[in-house]
Each structure stands twice: as structure tokens, then as C-alpha cells.
Amino acid sequence: MTHFIILPGSGGSGPTHWQSRWEDTDPAMRRFRPSSWDLPDFTDWLAALEAAVIEAPEPPVLVAHSLSCLLVAHWQKISQRPVRAAFLVAVPDPMAAVFPVYGMAFARIPQAKLRFTSLVVASTDDPYGSCDYAEAGAARWGSGIAVIGPAGHINAQSGLGDWPQGRALLDSLVAEAA
């Protein structure tokens, strides 16, 4: 069985967010647990991700949204823990006007290739990061890229519900990383 770690962005992905919906219906998905969702502390989030990967019974697939995409890029550089793959949805651009000040500790994003298979999923109208930004980041990280059209920040406000198209992308990533 593949194990997944759900990594919400700031705010923690509420009950109508696709991450929460997936977690509610799939016992193989477990959420990482930082101290605060609303005021992300970089060091605390790194430690929470490390703890979640240690607790996983096998190398997990990381399912990250927004700020947690940046977290994954930082974490994989300092940890040697094995990960099967990373699904990176709505990667935010720290230079975007709407990027939150509390997220600036995450902003110095590693530019090197990620050490595991990964897929960046982008929207054509994400206010937190342009499609061009996502495509350039995917190229630097050695990630695949999936542009899903206009879906805002690919969050609960995007009206995706259970987001079956996203789940299909995740399933394809898992198969590729086998």
C-alpha cells in the first residue's frame, strides 16, 4: 500500500479542500502536524515534515499544496529520509504581491533538482503564482508539469470538490515512481 503525507498550505486546508476530502476517504493519507497552520514557522514545519516521514511505514508520497510545496523543496535538501514522490500543487511565487509576509522564511527556494520524482500542478489564473513561474520551477526541480487550466489557487474556493482529475494525476505520479 502506498502511504501519503498531506501537506496543506497556510490555514491548514479546511474540510471542503480537496486535500481534506482525499484524507477523509483514504486511510493511507495522513496529515503532517505543525504547531500552527495560521502562522507557519519554518523550523517547526521542517520538523513536522521530518517527523511525519519518520512515522510513515514506508517511503511516502508527499501531497503538498501552496506554501508546503516550498517546504518540500527545502526539506529534501536537509533530510536524507526516503520519499517515493512529491505532488506539488499551486507552487506560490514569493515575489507575487499576495505572498504573505509570514511565509518569507520559506522564500529562498532551493533551485537544484529534487531528489525524488515529482509533479508540479499549476493553474492558469493562480494569483499566488503564474503558470510561467510554475513551469520554470518545475524545470529547475526536474519535475513534471501539469497545467489544469483556470482553477485559481487550486483550493477550496476553486470549487474542485473531490478533484478527481487531481487524484488521477496523483495516481499517475505514483505509478511513475514505482
| Domain residue limits at 114 | 4-176
Tell me the per-residue pLDDT of 22-46, one tens digit each, with 9 for 90 and over.
999 999 999 999 999 999 999 999 9
Q: Chain-wide mean pLDDT for the chain? A: 97
How far apart are the C-alpha atoms of 127 and 92, rounded to whole Å?
Answer: 9
Q: What total of structural domains would you count in the chain?
A: 1
pLDDT of 98 strictly over 90? yes
Tell me the per-residue pLDDT of 45-60, one tens digit each, with 9 for 90 and over.
999 999 999 999 999 9
- 178 band by pLDDT with thresholds 50, 70 and 90: confident
Q: Residue 25 is part of a domain; what is its CATH number?
A: 3.40.50.1820
How far apart are the C-alpha atoms of 69 and 39, rounded to whole Å?
Answer: 16
Mean pLDDT, residues 93-114 taken together: 95
